[in-house]
Amino acid sequence: MSFIKLLFLVFASSAVLSAFMMVTTRNTVYAALYLVLTFFSTALTWLLLEAEFLSIVLILVYVGAVMVLFLFVVMMLDVNTAATREGFVRFLPLGAGVAIIMMLEMSLVLGPKLFGLDVYPAPVPKPADYSNTEAIGSVLYTVYVYPFEIAAVILLVAMVAAIMLTLRRRPETKYQNAAAQAKVRREDRVRIVKMDSETRVDDIAKQGDGA
């Protein structure tokens, strides 16, 4: 067994195991962390496939941004685990049915008939100066430019929709206008009053004597 194959087995089993643990663990923060580990292991198996761009982007986007937001939310939640486990037996047949259908679909699509070594032979290792990133970019912006742009527009629409759904007008909220704060000059806040110096005390005393 070659070293690469050993690495693949380590990463692949780690991905499957952590995915399983993510579903079964009761602590929500642990579940999020297992999901991070799943992404990491998957990224490493992709690296073994010489797909370094996808692998690093998976870590950058999912581990670095998406899961951080997940953790952000999960850490603040007080999830009642007992309530989520209610009705486990009642929904078991339905869940098992869906799981079996999905397994069947996956085995049909991903089986050796469509993805076997005779259909997709193992790729020839590329030379060291081959840039995966450039290859993806040059195809993405020429051959697949319309699907790519459409996907981008769909994402934009989803983003606008998400913002609109959560937008609440709250006129009673007070907030600072940073631009106005930065624009403030000394003259707006401080008034320098020029006034004559007061008369001497002994002058007043003399006046007192005269009275």
If one asks whether residue 69 binds other proteins (CB under 8 A), the answer comes out as yes
* d(C-alpha 79, C-alpha 180), whole Å: 42
Residue 37 interacts with other proteins (CB under 8 A): yes or no: no
Give the C-alpha distances (Å, rounded to integers) separating 7 from 33, 136, 204.
22, 25, 98
**72 sits near other proteins (criterion: CB under 8 A):** yes
Q: Does 78 bind other proteins (CB under 8 A)?
A: no
Q: Cβ closer to other proteins: 19 or 71?
A: 71
> Using the rule CB under 8 A, which residue among 13, 131, 138, 207 binds other proteins?
131
By C-beta, is 66 or 108 nearer to other proteins?
66
- Per CB under 8 A, does 133 bind other proteins? yes
Nearest Cα to 37, choosing from 57, 49, 19, 20?
Answer: 19
Q: Which of 9, 10, 16, 65 binds other proteins (CB under 8 A)?
A: 65
Choice between 12 and 29, CB closer to other proteins:
29
**Nearest residue (CB) to other proteins, 90 versus 174:** 174
- Contact assessment for residue 17 and residue 42, using Cβ atoms and an 8 Å cutoff: no
Whole-angstrom CA distances from 141 to 47, 52, 56, 132 are 23, 19, 20, 14
Rounded to an integer, what distance in angstroms lies between the CA atom of residue 34 and that of residue 27?
11
Pick from 41, 53, 33: nearest CA to 9: 41
Q: Report the residue number, 48 or 59, with the smaller CB distance to other proteins.
A: 59
Q: Give the CA count within 13 Å in the CB-facing half-sphere of 123.
A: 7
The residue ranges that bind other proteins (CB under 8 A) are 29, 33, 36, 52-53, 56-57, 59-60, 63-65, 68-69, 71-72, 75-76, 129-133, 175-176, 178
